[in-house]
Chain A
Amino acid sequence: MNSHCEPGIGRSNPPQEIASSLKAPRNDTKHMEYTYYPGCSLHSSAPAYEKSSQAVMKAIGAKLNELEDWNCCGATAYMSIKELTAFSISARNLALAKKQAPNHDVVAPCSGCFVGLTKANKYINEFPEIKEKVNVALAEAGLEYDGSVKVRHLLDIIVNDFGVDKIKAMVKRPLTGLKVACYYGCQIIRPKTPLDDPEEPKHLEELIAALGATPTHYPMKANCCGGSIMGTEENIGMMLSRNVLDCAAKYGAECLVCPCPLCQMNLDAYQKPINRKFKKDINLPILYFTQLIGLALGLPPKELGFGSELVSADDIVRRFS
C-alpha cells in the first residue's frame, strides 16, 4: 500500500519549478467585499479556522459580511438521504445572500460547504425541474432563488482576487526553512471547479512559497482523508488518513496545511490512534493555511487560533514569532 509513497517513486516526483497557474489578480482589491458563509464547523469544531480567516481577511483589507441567519448547507450526509431537501436548504442560503448583497460573491472557507452550495447552484441551473421545485419550497418562507449567486472558496479569494504577489509583499516574518505539506483533500478541487486542477492543484504551494516556506511535493496531496467515513467505518477512514500522513512525513514535511475543517479533524484528532493502530511515529501538526499566512504577516498567534490543535504546533509558533 505504501510503496507508491516512497520518495522518488510514483507519479508526482518533486517538480523542479512550479509553472504558475495563477490568473492575474483583480485590480480593485481596495473594494474586496464578500458575503461570508462560515458553516457549522467553523462555529464549533474549527474555531482556529474562523479566527485565522477573519484575521487574515482583515489584514489584507477584505470585508466579510456574515450571511444573516444562514443555515446548514446539508453536507454529504443530507445529500445521501434526501437530495431535493438538501438542494432546497442550500438554496435558502443562496436566496438570503442574493437578498443581502446581490453583487457580492459568497465565500465559504469549508470545502464541504463550498461543494454543497456549488452543487445546489449547478443542479438548479442545469435542471429546470429542480429549479422549479426548489423555488416552490423556498416560497413557503417567502424566498426565491434564480441560481445567479457565485459561490467561492476562501483560498480562491486570497489567491485569485488579492494575489500571491501582494501577500508576498506583506510578509513580515518569512517562514524560512519551514517544510510544509500542502494538502487539498477532495472537495475544494473536485468535481471540476474553476479554482484549480482536479488532479495536480498548485495554488496552495504557490501561496505557501510566497510566505517564505518550502512546500513539500508529495503524491498524496489531492487524495481522500476518508471524510465522514471516519465515523461510520473507522478502520477504512484511519487507513486513508494514514496514507496521507505517512506520505507527507516521509517526504520530510514538518507540518501540513489544509483548507477544510473535516480534513483537519481527521488528520489531527485521529493522528494518535493512527500511530497506535499502524505502529507509526508520525508527529505532524495539522494547520489551516490561513494560520500560516497570519503567522507570516506578523499577526499575534493567539488571534490565529493556535493552541486548539491536538498535535501541538507550539514549536512552529515559537520559531516564527
Chain B
Amino acid sequence: MKEQKGIQREGRLTLDFIDEMKQIPGGEQIALCIQCGTCSGSCPTSHLMTHTPRRLIAMTRAGMRKEVLESPDIWLCTSCYYCYVRCPRGIKVTDLMYAYKRLSARDKFGIQKRGYKLGKIFMSVVNKYGRNNELELLAKFFGFANPIGGIKNTFIGLGLFLKGRLPLKTHKIKDLGGFKKIVNKAEELARLP
C-alpha cells in the first residue's frame, strides 16, 4: 500500500467529515486532540499501520474522508483500549476506531476487508439464533472470507473439536421472535438521520 503523497486539493477533501464524526456520541471530542501521539505509541498494531491512530485523527480534521475510510489500518484495531485510557485529552480513541469501521462498512468502503466480513457473518449468526454459534461462525468465515486461513487452521479446529470445545448442537433462544423485532427496530432507528 502506498502512502498518500503530494498536495491534497480542497476539491478532493470532505471538509465536513469532522462534523460527521462529531455527530457520533463521544465523537465531538475529536476536536480536543493535540496530536501528541500517545495513542499511536500505545497501540499494539500501530507499527504495522500506514496511518496510525494519531494520523487518522489529523486526516479526519483535514477532511480526508475517503482515505480514512478506505484505510485497512482501521481494521487493525484489536480493541485493547490502551489509547482510550492513556489519551491526555480524554478522547475515546478506541470508540473512534469503531466509528470509522462502521462508517467504512455503511458507505461500502471496507466491504472487502476481512474484519468487516467477520463482523457481518458474526451478526448474521447471532441474528439467526440469538446467540453465537462458534462452529457455524468459523465455518462461514473461513469458508467465505479466509479459505487459506481455514486450511491452515484445520488442525486447531480438529483439536478443539476432539476436546469438546466446538459442540455441534445449536442453541436458539426461546424468545427469538422478540429478539429479532428488537434487532429490526434498532436497525431502522439507526438509519434515521
Contacts and interface: CB of A to CB of B under 8 A. Distances in A.
Nearest to B25: A127
Interface string A58-76: 0000000000011110111
Given A72-B132, A83-B98, A190-B85, A224 B80 contact: yes
Interface string A74-98: 1111111111110111001000000
Contacts of B141: 231
A308 interface: yes
Contact of B114 (A190, A199, A232): A232
A85 B183 contact: yes
Contacts of A310: 156, 159-160, 163
A80 B166 contact: no
Contacts of A80: 98, 101-102, 105, 115-116, 119
A187 interface: yes
A224 B44 contact: yes
17 contacts: A72-B132, A75-B132, A80-B105, A81-B102, A81-B105, A84-B187, A84-B190, A88-B182, A137-B182, A186-B82, A223-B80, A226-B78, A231-B141, A232-B146, A236-B45, A269-B156, A308-B163
B43 to A, nearest CB: 9
A141 B179 contact: yes
B126 interface: yes
Interface string A118-154: 0000010011011001101110111100000000000
Interface string A214-248: 00000000011011110111101000100000000
Contacts of A199: 85
A46 interface: yes
B79 A270 contact: no
A45 B164 CA distance: 8
Interface residues of B, number: 68
A14 interface: no
A233 B99 CA distance: 20
B160 A72 contact: no
Contact of B25 (A43, A130, A307): A130
B1 interface: no
A127 B26 CA distance: 9
B2 interface: no
Contacts of A41: 132, 134
B165 A47 contact: yes
B152 interface: yes
Contacts of A212: none
B164 A88 contact: no
A191 interface: yes
Contact of A231 (B133, B146, B171, B187): B146
